[in-house]
């Protein structure tokens, strides 16, 4: 059987995002971002928007969007030592990924003056001893 493959993409308008942050305030950030994400972003709207776009892209790759129990807090964007964004899935997002056999994830983020975009690709890794 072929390994499953999935992808997701999301684009966030920064002007609209800034308005959402103003209206939602700290409660919005606490609901949608982990403590580590909030610390890394240090209130920078573009960094927060990129991470939210990544969460949306992952939810799309899982085939659910933010429903069926998958929430933004279940998807965490972590920056590696040299800044490369990586993903950690928790809760229902992790369970859904396991059910779909999606265990290898790659994430790319890009910032412009007015928009940010996130693109994710997920696939199954071959099982140990699998002759693929």
pLDDT in tens, 103-121: 999 999 999 999 999 999 9
- State how far the alpha carbon of 104 is from the alpha carbons of 14, 47, 82, 121, in Å: 29, 23, 20, 8
For residue 111, is it left (φ>0), alpha (ψ between -120 and 50) or beta? beta
Using the predicted structure, report yes or no on whether residue 83 has a pLDDT greater than 50: yes
Q: What is the pLDDT of residues 10-53, one digit of tens each?
A: 999 999 999 999 999 999 999 999 999 999 999 999 999 999 99
Please, are residues 100 and 85 in contact by the beta-carbon 8 Å criterion?
Answer: no
- Per the rule left: phi > 0, alpha: psi between -120 and 50, beta: everything else, 66 is beta
pLDDT computed for residue 131 by the predictor: 54
Is the domain spanning 5-123 CATH 3.90.470.20? The answer is yes
Query: Domain extents for the chain?
Result: 5-123
With beta carbons less than 8 A apart as the criterion, state whether 28 and 21 touch: yes
């Amino acid at each position: 059987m072929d390994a499953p493959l999935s992808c997701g993409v999301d684009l966030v308008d920064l002007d609209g995002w800034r308005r959402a942050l103003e209206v939602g305030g700290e409660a919005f950030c606490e609901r949608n971002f982990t403590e580590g994400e909030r610390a890394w972003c240090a209130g920078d709207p573009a960094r927060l928007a990129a991470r939210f776009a990544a969460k949306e892209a992952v939810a799309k790759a899982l085939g659910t969007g933010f429903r069926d129990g998958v929430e933004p807090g279940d998807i965490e964007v972590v920056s590696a030592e040299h800044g490369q964004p990586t993903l950690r899935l928790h809760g229902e997002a992790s369970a859904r990924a396991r059910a779909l056999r999606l265990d290898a994830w790659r994430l790319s983020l890009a910032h412009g003056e007015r928009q940010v975009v996130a693109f994710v690709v997920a696939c199954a890794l071959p099982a140990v001893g699998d002759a693929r």
